[in-house]
Amino acid sequence: MKLYNVEPKEEEFPWGVMQIVMLGEKGRGRIYTIVPFQCEYDPYASDYEIGTTKSGKPKIVRTGKPSPGYIAKISTLGDYVRGAHGELRLLKTNAPNVKIIASGLGAWGDAGRLGSWPEYLLTISPPFPVVFYVIPTRLKNYYLVFVTNAVFKVYREQLASFEEETGFTIPENPEEYENIDKLLKESE
């Protein structure tokens, strides 16, 4: 699988340093999740997979064998505005193609009560396109469209030109999308 928006960071632990993917934030009213990144980072490689640690938690590894699909980190973080809460929605018909590997929650305010944004680590499998509707905390909403060899960020006013250029139609009806937590929890 290819990586989308996944860049490992080195973090120091009492027992040593490890490359990880961070989701969310540390602190009250937040959820901080780390996923070990136990391989050499190459943003152009397509042989990444999700493995499991000895304790059964997910980790990112390389297999040496390319496979279709993506491992994607999607965040709903936008600019600060009091009371804003980000949301990630998925086209309902794409639910069988997406799996939540891990999630985290970032927030504003000492107790995390002034607004929040979820972050997800997902696997996205063919058939493509797979369409998400991202509602950031303050920025303009947009669609993320995953196809075989590319990922497109498309704003509502760009839908007609996107369809003309790529041949992919993005459904605009909000009822065709559902919150990813609710949709994938129901489909399991």
Report the pLDDT averaged over residues 182-187: 71
Report the pLDDT averaged over residues 6-24: 94
Spatial distance between the Cα atoms of 70 and 107, rounded to a whole number of angstroms: 27
Domain map of the chain by residue range? 2-187
DSSP 168: P
Spatial distance between the Cα atoms of 22 and 31, rounded to a whole number of angstroms: 11
The pair phi, psi for residue 13, each rounded to 5°, is -115, 165
Q: What pLDDT shows up at residue 184?
A: 82
Most confident range (mean pLDDT) of 11-15, 46-50, 172-176 is: 46-50
Report the pLDDT averaged over residues 19-33: 93
Please name the helix (run of DSSP H) or strand (run of DSSP E) that holds residue 2, with its range, or none.
strand 2-4
User: Which tens digits make up the pLDDT trace of 74-115?
Assistant: 999 877 777 778 899 999 999 999 999 999 999 888 776 777
Q: Residue 28 in contact with residue 111, Cβ under 8 Å?
A: yes
Three-state secondary structure call for residue 60? strand
Spatial distance between the Cα atoms of 114 and 99, rounded to a whole number of angstroms: 29
Spatial distance between the Cα atoms of 90 and 88, rounded to a whole number of angstroms: 7
Spatial distance between the Cα atoms of 149 and 141, rounded to a whole number of angstroms: 23
Q: What pLDDT shows up at residue 187?
A: 47
User: Which tens digits make up the pLDDT trace of 36-62?
Assistant: 999 999 999 999 999 999 999 999 999
Three-state secondary structure call for residue 54? coil
Spatial distance between the Cα atoms of 45 and 50, rounded to a whole number of angstroms: 14
Q: Residue 103 in contact with residue 33, Cβ under 8 Å?
A: yes
The pair phi, psi for residue 80, each rounded to 5°, is -70, 135
At 17, the pLDDT band (50, 70, 90 cuts) reads very high
Instruction: Examine the pLDDT at 35 and tell me if it is beyond 70.
Output: yes
At 188, the pLDDT band (50, 70, 90 cuts) reads very low
Tokens representing residue 16 in the block: 């040593």
Q: What pLDDT shows up at residue 186?
A: 53
User: Which tens digits make up the pLDDT trace of 144-170?
Assistant: 999 999 999 999 999 999 999 999 999
Q: Does the global pTM surpass 0.85?
A: yes
Report the pLDDT averaged over residues 15-25: 94
- Alpha carbon dihedral 147, 153, 158, 161, in 10-degree steps, equals -30
